Every structure is written in C-alpha cells, then in structure tokens.
Amino acid sequence: MIGRVLGRVDRIGMAVLVGALLAGSAGFTFHDQVSAAAVPTRILVSPDERIALQTQTRTAAMTSSVSHVNTRAAESASGSARVAVYLEATEPRTSEIPVNSAVVMTFSQPMNRSSVETSFTISPAVDGRFVWSDDFTLRFEAFKLGHATGYQVEVHGRSLRGVPLSGSRWWTFNTAAAPPDVVAPGAYAINVPILTYHYIRVNPDRYDRMGFALSVTPADFAAQMDWLAENGYHPITTEDLHTYLQGARGLPSRPVVLSFDDGYADFYTTALPILRSHDFKAVAYVVSGFVGQARYMTAAQVREADRSGIEIGSHTVSHANLATASSAASWAQLTESKQFLERLLGHPVVSFCYPSGKVTSAVAWQVGAAGYHDATTTRFGYSHTLGDRYLWTRLRISGGEPLDQFAMAVRGAS
C-alpha cells in the first residue's frame, strides 16, 4: 500500500511539473493563485489581461508544485499517511469544445465520491450525470452543453483518507458555435423533409409484419445519421421550422427534421446516444399516458431527452383516434397531455402529432386553440407553410430500406 502511494507521489510530482511546463503552449491558465496557506483566490480577468496573468501564474504554479513535492517527500520520509490530494488532470480546458464533450477529472488519490459530487459546480449550470471510472477518475456527462458558451468548472471534496483537495481546483473552457443560420427568413414556403421514425431496434418478432414496418435497426439508423452529417444536413426541430416561417429566424443549411413517434424506450436507449454523438436535434412525440409503462420512456428519460436538445411534442394522452373522438374527448387529449408534459419539463410544449395521422379540420382547429404552434400528420410531403402548420406532411422511414434509397428520399425532398 505504502509502495503504491509513494509510486503515485513520484508520478504526481512529475505530472504537476510537466503540466505547468506545457501550460503556455496549450493555452492553460491557472486561475487559482496558490497562496502560502494554499487558499486559492479567484481572479477575474479580461481577455487582454489574460496573457500577462498566464505568465505570472505559470511561474507561481511551478514554484508551488515544487514546494508541494518537497512537502510530500518530507511526509513520506516521516511515514505520514496524510498525502496531499491534487487534481492531476482536467479536461476540457481549451476553446471550441464540442457540446457533447464530457468533463473529466483525474485525482492523485482515491476520492470520497459523494464529497466530490456534492462540491462539483459547473457555471452556467447544466444538467448531467456523474460517472466514476474508478475512485481516481470522474466524468461529468452534461446532457448537452450550450453552444458558444464559456463554462467554469470547480470541484472540492476529499480523499478516501479524508484529506481535502488542494491546489488548483477550478478551470474554464468554452464550446463551439452552433451551425450558422444561412437560410434567410422570409420565405412563404420551404422544403424541409420531416422524417418519421417509430422503433429504433431489431424487430424482436420477425413474423410481426406491422412491427417490422415500424422498426429501423440501430445499424441502419446510425448509417442514416452518418449520411446526413457527411452530406451537410442539419437537423432542426419543428419549433425551429415554425419560428422560421414566422420570419423570426433563419435556418442552417440543408435543414431536416427527425421525428420519433410514440415515446418508445429505444428512443432513449438507442437513438438518443447516436443523435448526441452528432449533436443532432430531433422531435420526440410522447404519449403522456404511456410514460413509465413497459417499452416506453420513463419520466426521467423524457426529461433527459429534453435537456439533451430534443424537442418533446405531444402525441395525446392515450394514442386516441382524434378524428372519431367527441369534441370534448379530443380537447381533453390535447390539453391534458400538454399540461402533463409541461409540468414534467418546466417549459411550454408547442408541437403535436396526430396519432396514426387521424385528423379533421375541427381537430386541427382545436390543436391551435389548445396553444400548439404546429402539428404533423402521416401524409406524404415536404413543402411547408405557416398556413398549413397544423397539417405538416412527413416522409416515413419504414425500416429495411437501403441507404441509397434513404439518401434519394431526403435529397429529393430538400
């Protein structure tokens, strides 16, 4: 045990020195001025002051790391068990970081996990989860970082031996910008393929022809998303499309909407990681009464999808056929599902999708009266206007089609 600790101490001393030496070239800044009492003082710097500060603090950091190594050597010599605890490495700490990056901290000693997690802060605040590789390494996986945002991360906590973390404990990074809006607003109509997906899975029953026609395999789905990325497509949400047609914003080049009906669990387990890897937006139409049932997303999964940049739309309370429902029943389906999702997410839910595409003009009118901005059908088409926003058409991806057929459908519609 002692041998392991000593081995690590040597390595840490080197890592701190090498880290300090590399600092200038990597744009690395120690923001904590390490004082004699090892109490960091936070300094806010303007970009102009930063270079001067980097030079000063790098020197300070090198000096302090050397003194820490000396302290450790003394501790080791006296056989003391109180080995100082440092952050050996942190990332990211540069610019233009992709918004799907994880924040990773490597500590010099095994850490008390809860003390680290409760002390961790990222500002501006962002939802995410903690994943420990082992007691030395913690990843904070943000559901989604903001684009073109400066983040400050800070961590404290203590080792398993109860020694508080010392040395530099905060750092900054900033994220890459979103794809630029190049399609100028103001058009009356725009061609945007709205693709319809249901299950992203290997159909479990090969004799279930209905299920087969609703299932895109994870491999096919990943290949389709790769194709969209390689060909310069930019997934947007239906709310983005609505805002564009109102003339309030532009759109990125080659816009496409990826929509997922019914709120199946495999949207969360299979589609979402693939979408996140590309920084792709999408729309998930959730049946509010099915949330938490077998095969469907749980409330926590719906909330995480929302925090990951997925627009959550309503697909009624019980997947009801609104075309045959009474006016009162249809109104209840539209408003109760909206309220349920808004309470779950904490913000307005403005997009809707008709179950099985069943809609009448009276139902479409109700959708607008209930406060939705837009609604999609199962009818084929890809040209959309503000006037037909409660009857937007889509392209169905049934599953099993070869990639070139998928590519032809998307190209033909955009």
Contacts with Zn ion, residue ranges (CB under 5 A): 261-262, 355
For residue 408, the minimal CB distance to Zn ion (Å) is 26
For residue 287, the minimal CB distance to Zn ion (Å) is 7
Q: Which is nearer to Zn ion, 255 or 355 (CB)?
A: 355
Rg of the chain in Å (alpha carbons) = 26
Q: Which is nearer to Zn ion, 262 or 279 (CB)?
A: 262
CA distance 396 to 399: 9
Q: Which is nearer to Zn ion, 220 or 262 (CB)?
A: 262
For residue 284, the minimal CB distance to Zn ion (Å) is 11
Residue with tokens 């980097």: 54
Q: Which is nearer to Zn ion, 61 or 194 (CB)?
A: 194
For residue 163, the minimal CB distance to Zn ion (Å) is 55
Q: Which is nearer to Zn ion, 128 or 355 (CB)?
A: 355
Q: Which is nearer to Zn ion, 103 or 322 (CB)?
A: 322
CA distance 283 to 377: 14
For residue 354, the minimal CB distance to Zn ion (Å) is 8
CA distance 127 to 150: 16
Q: Please list the residues that pair with 162 across neighbouring strands.
A: none
For residue 291, the minimal CB distance to Zn ion (Å) is 14
CA dihedral 181, 182, 185, 187 (to 10 degrees): -140
Q: Which is nearer to Zn ion, 309 or 355 (CB)?
A: 355
Q: Which is nearer to Zn ion, 86 or 197 (CB)?
A: 197
For residue 124, cis peptide bond before it (omega within 30 degrees of 0): yes
Residue nearest to Zn ion (CB): 261
For residue 53, the minimal CB distance to Zn ion (Å) is 57
For residue 355, the minimal CB distance to Zn ion (Å) is 5
Q: Which is nearer to Zn ion, 240 or 261 (CB)?
A: 261
Please state, in angstroms and as integers, the Cα–Cα distance from residue 387 to each residue in 187, 322, 353, 364, 391, following that order.
Answer: 12, 21, 17, 12, 9
For residue 215, the minimal CB distance to Zn ion (Å) is 14
For residue 319, the minimal CB distance to Zn ion (Å) is 6
Q: Which is nearer to Zn ion, 111 or 363 (CB)?
A: 363
Q: Which is nearer to Zn ion, 138 or 287 (CB)?
A: 287
For residue 198, the minimal CB distance to Zn ion (Å) is 7
Per residue, the 3-state secondary structure of the chain, as one string, reads CHHHHHHHHHHHHHHHHHHHHHHHHHCCCCCEECCCCCCCEECCCCHHHHHHHHHHHHHHHHHHHHHHHHHHHHHHHHCCCCCCECEEEEECCCCCECCCCCEEEEECCCECHHHHHHHCEEECCCCEEEEEEECCEEEEEECCCCCCCEEEEECCCEECCCCEECCCCEEEEEECCCCCCCECCCCCEEECCEEEECEECCCCCCCCHHHHHCEECHHHHHHHHHHHHHCCCEEECHHHHHHHHCCCCCECCCEEEEEEEECEHHHHHHHHHHHHHCCCCEEEEECHHHCCCCCECCHHHHHHHHHCCEEEEECCCCCCCCCCCCHHHHHHHHHHHHHHHHHHHCCCCCEEECHHHCCCHHHHHHHHHCCCCEEEEEEECCEEECCCCCCEEEEECCCCCCHHHHHHHHHHCC
